[in-house]
Chain A
Amino acid sequence: MPPSVTENFPGRVRGRVSIGWVWGAVIGVPLLLFCAWALSDNAKLFVRTLFNGVTLAALYFVVASGFTLVFGLMRNVNLAHGSLYLGGAYLGWMVGDASGSWLLAVVTGFLAAGVVGLVLQVSVFRFMPGQDLRQTMFTIGLSIVLADIMLWSFGGEIYQFDPPEAIFGRTPMPFIKAYPTYRLVMLATAIVIGIALWVFLNRTRVGMMIRAGVDDRAMLAASGVNVQRVFAITFAIGAGLAGFGGVVGGTALSIAPGEDTRYLLASLMVTIVGGMGSIPGAALGALLVGLAEQFGLAYAPTYGVVFTFLIMVLVLAFRPQGILGRKT
């Protein structure tokens, strides 16, 4: 794939540090002023919004890291990622409802979506190598079909499930009297998953293969690795993370038709902002998008989405490959 034309101007690199400072000041100073104002005006609202933003970012990270992993390695823009999220949530809910075990529901969500992803990779995508656009179109069609099947089988009702007693209550906090424990657990889970992904990608053999594949697929294949197997594993993990996020997010929020689009949008935004194919980028992107969304909702309700959008526009305007993305 030829690199885009804008990347052929090495002159831009030299000025980056000073330009970075200028931009840091342009964005950071108003941001600090806003924080100072918000804290003095209504500290409770500010802190609660901050917590909401960070915990939402945790959920976004879990979902989007799967998306970005698949994209980074296979160049497959899986637009059915939101459907996998919702599908995992529904199946997890069914199992959780039948067995009464929340943990079982989480495992089901992960496994079910992972198996779907595995089957997709093995039965469809491996026969369209290098056809990015066709793969993407296929995932679009798939998302339509899956959304309709889910609407058909689960109807338009809103589903919700309760986490185990131990993590259900509220935890005392400074400024705000208490905060739902579950959302804090969600944050911890995301951190654990982030670390696990880091260890997996950096310390295991398969992870090394995946990273090598992200950098140069042809070279990886040439060095004797069964690329198709690496692809299948990656797709299963990526899809599984969406299903896992579905159950975890469905517990904190709710499961309803339309959520698939919401989390697909979140995944897209996070990936675009953070950098395509980068796990740390996904963490940073999720943080920015989650905070922007919650602060937007709290302080400018009818323009909430504009802030997320602005972040995306700014990133695309000045760093098209994403904040932590590398040039391909």
Chain B
Amino acid sequence: MSAPAWRRAMNTPVGTLTAPGVQAMPFERPGHAPLALGQRLRAIRPRHLIVLAALLIYPWVATPFFTFQIGGQALVLGLIALSLTFLAGYGGMVSLAQMTVAGIAGYCVAIFGDSSVSQISLGWAWPWVLLMAIAVAVLVSAVIGWLSVRTEGIYTIMITLAIGVAFYYLCVQNYTLFNGHAGFHHITTPQVLDVAWRDPVPYYYLALFWAMAGYFLITYLLRAPFGLALQGIRDNARRMNALGFNVTAHRVAAYAVSGLLAGVGGVLLAYYNGLVTPGTVNTGALINILIIAVLGGMRHPIGPFVGAVVFVLMQTFGIDLASQLFGDWARERFNLVIGMVFLLIVLFSPDGLLGWWTQLRARLRPSGGAGRSIPAAAPH
């Protein structure tokens, strides 16, 4: 937070903290006026509608491959990464266990629902399965939060990574509950409304619906008192504590919210892959979520979706491109390429692709008229 913002905060009586101008104080960035909820509705610009239209029309223009593998996958990964962006960007807690939470939801779908492993799968009806999966994800996420938030900021990353990797080893070792290396295959989508939900177009709309639900939930929360308090805690936990906010409770609640998003994403991911194995939650997968969030930028909830699109495109086509440019050796070196990209982003653009976008806008419009809403780039 800038020094003037601090001074203003210091000189504001506690009772007036709910006034809109002060309310958004922790959010403040230079040149970005905060908006109240009503103003925000009025702030819908043509470009937002264009993006929405593009997202809705996309599957009718794109091939099934692009609809499912690129569109659907990016939306789901973006949703899981959004849970990290919410925690890290607005709560100041970088959790590497988001994919673990998503994976646990996926495992729940397999364990409580149907899969190829009939000895373990319980075969419940789908509403209960989904309810259970999401509830377990929220609970696990809250427990992870409770374990990690009582230490200082940077430990969070260590503790969540340790939890995530330990869960991976548990999945590999344990056959009675997690079916070890093999995991669960043939996870089918439920029969609802006679739609084959795993077909490209229905799956795309399903993923789009939940991605948008997650996106709007987060944008709403960030302006609700809870989200503002969370951002205040991110900026100065001590001061918020002194103001009477229960810092630990807010942080744990933020973890629970992120668990909700990651849980929904995990269920969708299990349906997308049709399987859940230890590979779903291995270290690479945990870190991929971080890469997606950092790649997109953690300053705005649209960031993870942008990052996910770029990530999925790189995963799908980047290697072909690299092997054509650099020869055949590059074909199997996806991790090298993605690691390098991640390093470059960390070194040169800490705000990710959104940071570039903001810089570009600032350059194009030097009058400083750039609004605070970063236009939603279409995830395709």
Residues of A within 8 A of B (CB): 1-6, 8, 75, 77, 79, 124, 132-134, 136-138, 140-142, 144-145, 147-149, 152, 261, 264-265, 268-269, 271-272, 276, 301-306, 308-309, 312-313, 316-317, 320-321, 328
Q: Tell me the nearest residue of chain B to A261, going by C-beta.
A: B283
In the bound complex, do residue A152 and residue B154 qualify as a contact, i.e. CB atoms below 8 Å apart? no
Residues of A within 8 A of B287 (CB): 140, 144
In the bound complex, do residue B155 and residue A134 qualify as a contact, i.e. CB atoms below 8 Å apart? no
User: Which one of B70-78, B314-322, B341-349 is at the A interface?
Assistant: B341-349
**B169 contacts A by Cβ under 8 Å:** yes
Q: A5-B238, A265-B162, A317-B147 are in contact. Are A148 and B335 (CB under 8 A)?
A: yes
In the bound complex, do residue B166 and residue A265 qualify as a contact, i.e. CB atoms below 8 Å apart? yes
Please tell me which one of the listed residues B161, B175, B290, B346 contacts residue A268 in the complex, with CB atoms under 8 A apart. B161
Mask, B145-181, CB within 8 Å of A = 1, is 0011011111101110111011001100111100010
Measured between C-beta atoms, what is the minimum distance from A84 to chain B in Å? Answer: 16
How many angstroms from the CA of A132 to the CA of B166 in the assembled complex? Answer: 24
Measured between C-beta atoms, what is the minimum distance from B33 to chain A in Å? Answer: 27
Interface size class of B (residues with CB under 8 A): 35 or more
The A-B contact count (CB < 8 A) is 131
- Interface residues of B, dominant DSSP: helix
Please tell me which one of the listed residues B152, B290, B350 contacts residue A4 in the complex, with CB atoms under 8 A apart. B152
Q: A145-B343, A316-B151, A328-B152 are in contact. Are A302 and B158 (CB under 8 A)?
A: no
Please tell me which one of the listed residues A5, A137, A269, A271 contacts residue B294 in the complex, with CB atoms under 8 A apart. A137
Residues of B within 8 A of A147 (CB): 335
Q: Tell me the nearest residue of chain A to B334, going by C-beta.
A: A148
Residues of B within 8 A of A276 (CB): 155
Please tell me which one of the listed residues A309, A312, A321 contacts residue B151 in the complex, with CB atoms under 8 A apart. A321
The residue among B155, B159, B294 with the most chain A CB atoms within 10 A of its own CB is B155
- Taking A138-B346, A142-B339, A272-B159 as given, write out 12 further A-B residue pairs in contact, using a Cβ cutoff of 8 Å, ordered by the A residue number: A1-B152, A5-B248, A77-B158, A144-B342, A145-B335, A147-B335, A268-B162, A271-B158, A303-B174, A304-B169, A308-B166, A312-B162
Q: A145-B339, A302-B175 are in contact. Are A5 and B236 (CB under 8 A)?
A: no
The residue among B148, B248, B287 with the most chain A CB atoms within 10 A of its own CB is B287
Residues of A within 8 A of B153 (CB): 1, 132-133
Residues of A within 8 A of B294 (CB): 137
- Interface residues of A, dominant DSSP: helix
Measured between C-beta atoms, what is the minimum distance from A129 to chain B in Å? Answer: 14
Measured between C-beta atoms, what is the minimum distance from B57 to chain A in Å? Answer: 36
Q: Tell me the nearest residue of chain B to A305, going by C-beta.
A: B169
Residues of B within 8 A of A145 (CB): 335-336, 339-340, 343
In the bound complex, do residue A2 and residue B170 qualify as a contact, i.e. CB atoms below 8 Å apart? no
Measured between C-beta atoms, what is the minimum distance from A267 to chain B in Å? Answer: 9
**B47 contacts A by Cβ under 8 Å:** no
How many angstroms from the CA of A263 to the CA of B266 in the assembled complex? Answer: 28
In the bound complex, do residue B154 and residue A265 qualify as a contact, i.e. CB atoms below 8 Å apart? no
In the bound complex, do residue A138 and residue B148 qualify as a contact, i.e. CB atoms below 8 Å apart? no
Q: A6-B150, A276-B155, A320-B151 are in contact. Are A148 and B339 (CB under 8 A)?
A: yes
Residues of A within 8 A of B176 (CB): 302
Residues of A within 8 A of B347 (CB): 124, 138
Measured between C-beta atoms, what is the minimum distance from B342 to chain A in Å? Answer: 4
Measured between C-beta atoms, what is the minimum distance from A39 to chain B in Å? Answer: 26
Residues of B within 8 A of A136 (CB): 94, 154, 157
**B338 contacts A by Cβ under 8 Å:** yes
Q: Tell me the nearest residue of chain A to B176, going by C-beta.
A: A302
How many angstroms from the CA of A261 to the CA of B237 in the assembled complex? Answer: 33
**B218 contacts A by Cβ under 8 Å:** no
Measured between C-beta atoms, what is the minimum distance from A208 to chain B in Å? Answer: 25
Residues of B within 8 A of A140 (CB): 287, 290, 342
Residues of B within 8 A of A6 (CB): 150, 248
How many angstroms from the CA of A133 to the CA of B173 in the assembled complex? Answer: 32
How many angstroms from the CA of A221 to the CA of B150 in the assembled complex? Answer: 29
How many angstroms from the CA of A268 to the CA of B160 in the assembled complex? Answer: 10
Q: Tell me the nearest residue of chain A to B152, going by C-beta.
A: A4
How many angstroms from the CA of A316 to the CA of B283 in the assembled complex? Answer: 22
In the bound complex, do residue B157 and residue A303 qualify as a contact, i.e. CB atoms below 8 Å apart? no
How many angstroms from the CA of A265 to the CA of B342 in the assembled complex? Answer: 22
11 contacts between A and B (CB under 8 A): A1-B153, A3-B238, A5-B237, A5-B247, A5-B248, A138-B346, A144-B338, A276-B155, A309-B170, A316-B151, A320-B150
How many angstroms from the CA of A64 to the CA of B157 in the assembled complex? Answer: 17
**B241 contacts A by Cβ under 8 Å:** yes
In the bound complex, do residue B150 and residue A316 qualify as a contact, i.e. CB atoms below 8 Å apart? yes
**B32 contacts A by Cβ under 8 Å:** no
In the bound complex, do residue A77 and residue B154 qualify as a contact, i.e. CB atoms below 8 Å apart? yes
